[in-house]
């Protein structure tokens, strides 16, 4: 009886490994992987750097932070770190939402026009190029809007409410780094799939 049970477990183990290998290969084939090219990464960093100018300008105009001497070095270093974290957040959100937007676009077009597979090869390639451009444009806009909205709201909350009694330089450093760190952390967490 123990030999029969051992053979049965061995057979179940073999079947599980075959099923697991099949499921793993199917999962890898179904994943859509998008990578950012160098120009997109540079664009995201430059846009993030420009985004960090707004809180800096507010600190100069409203809080009276004087940009001279060592404060310029503080401004440049903190803005660079915040811009780097924001650009990483842009990349994370861009890569996550591009897949979703691409799938939704395919679903809407296939429902509106019928099956895309019925189109000839030239039309399919034109469709794919237009779809990729539209998907990239929509994803970029969504990414920039969402990330900048969260960053500006959190930096304003930290700078003008939570840390309003702190020294201006400490307030500036903590609000910019705290806001960009929070945005990066929110972008790097994965959604729980049901």
Residues 176-194: tens digit of each pLDDT: 999 999 999 999 986 544 3
Q: Which residues contact 102 (CB under 8 A, 6 or more apart)?
A: 32, 131, 135
pLDDT, position 95: 87
How do residues 60-99 score in pLDDT, each as one tens digit? 888 888 888 888 898 999 999 999 999 999 999 998 888 7
Stretch 104-116: mean pLDDT: 68
Stretch 14-36: mean pLDDT: 57
Pairwise CA distance, residues 28 & 183, whole Å: 29
Of 171, 172, 184, residue with least CA distance to 84: 184
Listed range (21-30, 114-123, 158-167) with the worst mean pLDDT: 21-30
Of 93, 90, 91, 103, residue with least CA distance to 32: 103
pLDDT, position 12: 57
How do residues 132-168 score in pLDDT, each as one tens digit? 888 889 999 999 999 999 999 999 999 999 998 999 9
At CB < 8 A and 24+ separation, what contacts does 34-42 make?
34/95, 34/98, 34/99, 35/95, 36/91, 36/94, 36/95, 40/94, 41/87, 41/91
pLDDT, position 122: 74
Residue pair 116/124 in contact by the 8 Å Cβ criterion:
yes
Residue pair 155/126 in contact by the 8 Å Cβ criterion:
no
**Residues composing the chain:** 194
pLDDT: which is higher, 155 or 2 = 155
The Cβ of residue 120 has, within 10 Å, a number of other Cβ atoms equal to 8
pLDDT band for 130, please (50, 70, 90 cuts). confident
Q: What angle do CA 40, 41, 44 make, to 5 degrees?
A: 85
DSSP 191: P
pLDDT > 70? residue 55: yes
Pairwise CA distance, residues 192 & 103, whole Å: 19
Share of the chain above pLDDT 70, in %: 75
pLDDT, position 106: 73
Whole-number average pLDDT of the chain: 82
- The two three-digit tokens of residue 45, written as one number: 């960093």
pLDDT: which is higher, 145 or 3 = 145
């Amino acid at each position: 009886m123990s030999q029969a049970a051992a053979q049965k477990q061995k057979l179940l183990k073999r079947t599980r490994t075959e099923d697991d290998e099949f499921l793993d290969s199917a999962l890898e084939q179904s994943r859509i992987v998008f990578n950012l090219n160098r120009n997109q990464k540079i664009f995201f960093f430059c846009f993030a750097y420009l985004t960090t100018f707004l809180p800096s300008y507010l600190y100069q105009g409203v809080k009276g932070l004087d940009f001279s001497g060592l404060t310029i070095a503080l401004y440049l270093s903190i803005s660079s770190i915040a811009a780097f974290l924001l650009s990483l957040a842009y990349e994370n959100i861009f890569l996550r939402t591009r897949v979703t937007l691409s799938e939704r676009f395919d679903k809407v077009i296939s429902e509106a026009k019928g099956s895309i597979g019925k189109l000839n090869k030239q039309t399919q390639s034109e469709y794919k190029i237009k779809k990729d451009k539209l998907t990239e444009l929509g994803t970029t806009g969504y990414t920039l809007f969402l990330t900048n909205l969260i960053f500006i709201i959190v930096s304003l909350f930290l700078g003008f409410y939570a840390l309003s009694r702190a020294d201006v330089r400490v307030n500036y450093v903590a609000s910019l780094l705290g806001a960009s760190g929070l945005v990066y952390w929110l972008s790097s967490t994965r959604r729980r799939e049901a």
